[in-house]
C-alpha cells in the first residue's frame, strides 16, 4: 500500500530535512500522496512543482510538534503569482471499502484525508499531525520562469507566538492551456439543506438559488462545465384549457445562473423516466407524462407502449426544442431518457430505445444521452462505465460522442474516486478519457450529502455498501461548500487531458506514448508518483520546445 510505504522510510533523515523553528516541524509531501492518520513519518518532497499557465500548483505540508500548539494559521508569502488558498486537510470515516483493490489504503480507525477546511483555526498536539494544503492558481498571462515563495505557519503556546516557515518553488512553463477545457464534465448535484443548517429549502425559491450558486461557483472553478437540469418547465393550461403550455421562467433563471457562475458550457435536460424498481434492472422503464382532462393537468407514470406517451412527447418536447433553439441552447443540450438501460434484449433497453426514438422523431434537435454498459441504439452520446470492454468499444458513429462514467463501480484495481484509493487514481481518470478517446466524464455524486448521516465527518453511505466517497466530492458548510483533495485531483486530471491534447496537436504518437506510460490498460496503471510527475514534466518540456 502506498500510504504504508511512506511510513516505513527513515524518519531521522526526513526530520533533518524538514523546516523547524521551535517545537514545530514542517515537511513537504507530494500532493498526490495521501497523508494518513496512522502515519508517523513522511518522505520529504521539496521538489519544484512544474505547471503550465492556467493550471494550479499544489503543495502539501505535514506539521508535527513536540508541544501542543493552538490557533494554527497559514499563509504564503512573497509569491508573485495568482490567487493562493491555504486549508487544513481533515479526516473522514469510511466503513465501506472498495472490493478487490490491491492498493487500497487502510487505517486502524477507518479515517482518511479528504475535505479541505479553510475557515477554522487548528490545534496541533504532540500525538498527531496536521496536513496543510496550499493551492496556487497560475494566471494565464504569467511570465514563464521559476517562482519562489514561503509558506508560513503561526500558532500559540502559553501566550507565545510560534512560527515555522518553508520555501516553495513553482516552475511555470511557456505553455498556456486553452481558454476552454476540452473535456466535458458533469457530476450530479443534490439538495442544499445542509448548507442551510439542516432547514429544508424549497427548490424553486430564492434561497435555493442563493445556496446552489455557491455549489456552482466551486464546481465550475474545479472543472465542471456540464450540469444536469433537475428543474422542469412549469405546465400551464392554455387559454381554452384544452392543452398545456410550458413556462420556462424558473428553468431559464437557473440555467442562466449556471452560465454566469457555474462555468456551464453544456447541460443535460432531466430524465424522462426510470426503472420501476431497483430490484429488477432488466425491467422496462416507466415514463412520466402529462395530459389535460376535464380542464385539469393530469400527471401519470406510463409504459413505453402507451400511445398517450407518444402524444405527450410530441407536445412537450417540441416546445422544449423550440425554446432551446430560440435561446441559442440547442447545440449545448443533451436529453436524458432513463438512467442506465440494461443490456440488449432486455425490456429495459427496449423501452429506452423506443422512447429515445420518439424524442428523435418529435424533437430531432435534442441529442440523447445516458449512462449505459454498451452503445445503445438511438443514443447520440454513449456514456459507458469504465471496464475491460472500454478498450474494445467500436468506433463512435459520425456525429455521436462517447463519454466515460464511474460510480460505486468499477472497483477492483480500476481507477475511481473512493477515499480509500491512492489519490493518483482519481487524477488519472481523465488520462483514461484520453487513452480511450472519450470526450466526457459523468459521475452521479457531486453533492449527494443526503445519502450519508454525517457528511462532514463520515462518508459511509447510509443503507448501501457503496465505497466511501462515492456520493460526493465536495463538503457542506454553513452557506458555503468545501473542496476536497479528490476534487483537486479531478480538476488537475482535466488539465492533464488538455495538455495531452496539446501534445497530440504536435505529435499524436508522442501524446499516446506519454499517456500509455501511465495508462497501460483499463485497470492497469503506473501509479508511481515520481514517474507520473516526470511524465508531466516531459509533456511541458515537449510543448515548450520549438522543434
pLDDT, tens digit (0-9, with 9 covering 90-100), for 435-460: 999 999 999 999 999 999 999 999 99
pLDDT for 16 beyond 80: no
CA distance 340 to 343: 9
pLDDT, tens digit (0-9, with 9 covering 90-100), for 56-111: 999 999 999 999 999 999 999 989 888 999 999 999 999 999 999 999 999 999 99
Decide which of 399 and 138 is more confident.
138
Cell numbers for 488: 483537486
pLDDT for 139 beyond 50: yes
Give me the helix-helix angle, 347-362 and 307-327, nearest 10°: 50
Looking at the domain covering 184-235+246-275+311-498, what would its CATH class be?
A: alpha beta
Please answer whether residues 432 and 404 qualify as being in contact, where contact means their C-beta atoms are separated by less than 8 angstroms.
yes
- Quote the percentage of the chain above a pLDDT of 70: 96
- Model pLDDT, residue 306: 97
pLDDT, tens digit (0-9, with 9 covering 90-100), for 483-508: 999 999 999 999 999 999 999 999 99
In angstroms, what is the C-alpha Rg of the chain? 25
- Model pLDDT, residue 460: 97
Helix/strand/coil (H, E, C) string of 468-515? CCCCECCEEECCEEECEHHHHHHHHHHHHHHHHHHHHHHCHHHHHHHH
CATH of 2-175, one of 3.40.50.1370, 2.60.40.10, 3.40.250.10, 3.40.50.300: 2.60.40.10
pLDDT for 18 beyond 90: no
Q: What average pLDDT does the chain have?
A: 93
At 547, the pLDDT band (50, 70, 90 cuts) reads low
pLDDT, tens digit (0-9, with 9 covering 90-100), for 261-315: 999 999 999 999 998 877 788 999 999 999 999 999 999 999 999 999 999 999 9
Q: Which residues contact 419 (CB under 8 A, 6 or more apart)?
A: 92, 94, 112, 114, 459, 467, 468, 469, 486
pLDDT, tens digit (0-9, with 9 covering 90-100), for 172-209: 999 999 999 999 999 999 999 999 999 999 999 999 99
- Model pLDDT, residue 10: 32
Nearest by Cα to 178 from 341, 53, 358, 354: 53
- Model pLDDT, residue 177: 98
Nearest by Cα to 321 from 410, 248, 395, 408: 248
Please answer whether residues 264 and 225 qualify as being in contact, where contact means their C-beta atoms are separated by less than 8 angstroms.
yes
Enumerate the domain spans of the chain: 2-175, 184-235+246-275+311-498
- Model pLDDT, residue 9: 32
At 45, the pLDDT band (50, 70, 90 cuts) reads confident
Amino acid at each position: 500500500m502506498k500510504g504504508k510505504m511512506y511510513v516505513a522510510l527513515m524518519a531521522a533523515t526526513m526530520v533533518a530535512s524538514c523546516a523547524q523553528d521551535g517545537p514545530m516541524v514542517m515537511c513537504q509531501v507530494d500532493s498526490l500522496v495521501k497523508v494518513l492518520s496512522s502515519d508517523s513519518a513522511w518522505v520529504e518532497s521539496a521538489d519544484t512543482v512544474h505547471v503550465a499557465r492556467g493550471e494550479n500548483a499544489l503543495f502539501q505540508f505535514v506539521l508535527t510538534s513536540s508541544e501542543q500548539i493552538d490557533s494554527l494559521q497559514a499563509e504564503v508569502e512573497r509569491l508573485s503569482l495568482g490567487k493562493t488558498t491555504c486549508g487544513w486537510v481533515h479526516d473522514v470515516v469510511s466503513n465501506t471499502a472498495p472490493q478487490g483493490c490491491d492498493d487500497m489504503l487502510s487505517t486502524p480507525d477507518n479515517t482518511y484525508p479528504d475535505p479541505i477546511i479553510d475557515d477554522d483555526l487548528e490545534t496541533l498536539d504532540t500525538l498527531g499531525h496536521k496536513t496543510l494544503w496550499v493551492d496556487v492558481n497560475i494566471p494565464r498571462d504569467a511570465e514563464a520562469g521559476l517562482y519562489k515563495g514561503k509558506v508560513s505557519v503561526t500558532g500559540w503556546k502559553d501566550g507565545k507566538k510560534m512560527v515555522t516557515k518553508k520555501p516553495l518553488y513553482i516552475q511555470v512553463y511557456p505553455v498556456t492551456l486553452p481558454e476552454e477545457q476540452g473535456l466535458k464534465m458533469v457530476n450530479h448535484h443534490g439538495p442544499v439543506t445542509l448548507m442551510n443548517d439542516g432547514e429544508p429549502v424549497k427548490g424553486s425559491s430564492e434561497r435555493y438559488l442563493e445556496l446552489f450558486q455557491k455549489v456552482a461557483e466551486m464546481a465550475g472553478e474545479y472543472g465542471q462545465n456540464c450540469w444536469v437540469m433537475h428543474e422542469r418547465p412549469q405546465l400551464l393550461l392554455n387559454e381554452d384549457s384544452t392543452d398545456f403550455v410550458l413556462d420556462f421562467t424558473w428553468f431559464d433563471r437557473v440555467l442562466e445562473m449556471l452560465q454566469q457562475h457555474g462555468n456551464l458550457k453544456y447541460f443535460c435536460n432531466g430524465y424522462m423516466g426510470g426503472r420501476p424498481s431497483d430490484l429488477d434492472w432488466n425491467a422496462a422503464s416507466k415514463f412520466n407524462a402529462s395530459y389535460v382532462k376535464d380542464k385539469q393537468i393530469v400527471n401519470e407514470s406510463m409504459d413505453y407502449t402507451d400511445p398517450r406517451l407518444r402524444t405527450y412527447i410530441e407536445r412537450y418536447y417540441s416546445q422544449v426544442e423550440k425554446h432551446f433553439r430560440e435561446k441559442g441552447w440547442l447545440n449545448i443540450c443533451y436529453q436524458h431518457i432513463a438512467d442506465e438501460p440494461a443490456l440488449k434484449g432486455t425490456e429495459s433497453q427496449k423501452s429506452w430505445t423506443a422512447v429515445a426514438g420518439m424524442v428523435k422523431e418529435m424533437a430531432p434537435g435534442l441529442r440523447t444521452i445516458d449512462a449505459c454498459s454498451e452503445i445503445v441504439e438511438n443514443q447520440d452520446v454513449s456514456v459507458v462505465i469504465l471496464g475491460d470492454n472500454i478498450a474494445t468499444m467500436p468506433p463512435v458513429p459520425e456525429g455521436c460522442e462517447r463519454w466515460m462514467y464511474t460510480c460505486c463501480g468499477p472497483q477492483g484495481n480500476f481507477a475511481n474516486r473512493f477515499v480509500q484509493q491512492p489519490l493518483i487514481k482519481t487524477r488519472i481518470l481523465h488520462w483514461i478519457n484520453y487513452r480511450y478517446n472519450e470526450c466526457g466524464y459523468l459521475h452521479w455524486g457531486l453533492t449527494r450529502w443526503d445519502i450519508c448521516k454525517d457528511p462532514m465527518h463520515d462518508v459511509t453511505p447510509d443503507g448501501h455498501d457503496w465505497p466511501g466517497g462515492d456520493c460526493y466530492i465536495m463538503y457542506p458548510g454553513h452557506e458555503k461548500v468545501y473542496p476536497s483533495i479528490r476534487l483537486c485531483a479531478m480538476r488537475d486530471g482535466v488539465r492533464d487531458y488538455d495538455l495531452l491534447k496539446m501534445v497530440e496537436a504536435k505529435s499524436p504518437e508522442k501524446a499516446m506514448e506519454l499517456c500509455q506510460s501511465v495508462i497501460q490498460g483499463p485497470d492497469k496503471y503506473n501509479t508511481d508518483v515520481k514517474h507520473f510527475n516526470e511524465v508531466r514534466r516531459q509533456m511541458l518540456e515537449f510543448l515548450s520546445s520549438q522543434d
